[in-house]
Amino acid sequence: MALSTKHKIVAAARQILMSDGYRSLSMRRVAAACGMSVGNLTYHFPTADSLLVAVIQNMLDGYGEQLKRYQTMGVAEGQDILDQVIEFIIRDAVTSATSSLMIELWAMAKHDPSKAKYVNLAYDMGRQVIKTLILRASPETSPADAEKAAVVLLVFSEGSTALFSRRHDLGYEAEDMIGVARQTIRAMIAPTPHH
């Protein structure tokens, strides 16, 4: 099945952002990449901000699909779900696609405060999904502790993006970070009751 026009536009914008940077992301450039006029592009996305929101939402939807798989696992598998989520988040953080996109989003937020709200939205949404999964994996955990653990997991993820996606000579690997993240998150939440 062919991609819808909106999906094609979002994919082109995301690719430009990842490969050429946020300063290269313009409506004209995206329209050219899609083989359409700027007028046709603005029919689907009236502003550059609406297109940026769609790119971020597309990224979050991809995470959401994966994380929903964990949510549908049985409650008896609770801790395994949490381990899988931690591993997924950190492994994904060091992929070239995710690290390229995130680094550009950070740069954009740093240099254009009007865009920072969209990056903050992405973190807020991600934090809520992770918090929900932590509470599912460890129902005895308080919502406040789950929130703190979700933020810490995002810190592990972002730190992994910043370091491990660019350097491989640190004497420490993303795999090591997964183990430390698991230990840290487990220490922050209530123990999973044994049946």
Q: What is the DSSP letter of 36?
A: S
CB atoms within 10 A of CB 35: 9
- pLDDT value, residue 193: 56
Distance CA 160, CA 187 (A): 20
For residue 194, tell me if it sits in a domain. Answer: no
- pLDDT value, residue 167: 64
- pLDDT value, residue 60: 79
For residue 193, tell me if it sits in a domain. Answer: no
Average pLDDT over residues 130-157: 92
Average pLDDT over residues 10-37: 93
Q: Same structural domain for residues 66 and 19? A: no
Is the pLDDT confidence value at 99 over 70? yes
Q: Same structural domain for residues 173 and 102? A: yes
Q: Same structural domain for residues 122 and 153? A: yes
Residues 64-83: tens digit of each pLDDT: 787 777 766 654 455 577 88
Is the pLDDT confidence value at 96 over 90? no
Q: How many distinct structural domains can be found in the chain?
A: 2
Is the pLDDT confidence value at 1 over 60? no
Q: Same structural domain for residues 57 and 83? A: yes
- pTM for the complete prediction? 0.78
Between 166 and 94, the more confident residue is 94
Is the pLDDT confidence value at 195 over 50? no
Q: Answer for the pair 148, 88: CB distance below 8 angstroms, yes or no.
A: no
Q: Any residues with CB less than 8 A from the CB of 138 and at least 6 apart, and which?
A: 78, 79, 82, 146, 189, 190, 191, 192
Average pLDDT over residues 143-158: 94
CATH classification at residue 30: 1.10.10.60
97-118 in b/e form (b: 16+ CB < 10 A) is ebbbbbbbbbebbeeeeebeeb
Residues 29-46: tens digit of each pLDDT: 999 999 999 999 999 999
Q: Answer for the pair 75, 136: CB distance below 8 angstroms, yes or no.
A: yes
- pLDDT value, residue 77: 52
Distance CA 51, CA 131 (A): 28
Q: Answer for the pair 43, 98: CB distance below 8 angstroms, yes or no.
A: no
Which helix (H) or strand (E) segment holds residue 63: the answer is helix 48-71
Q: What is the DSSP letter of 23?
A: G
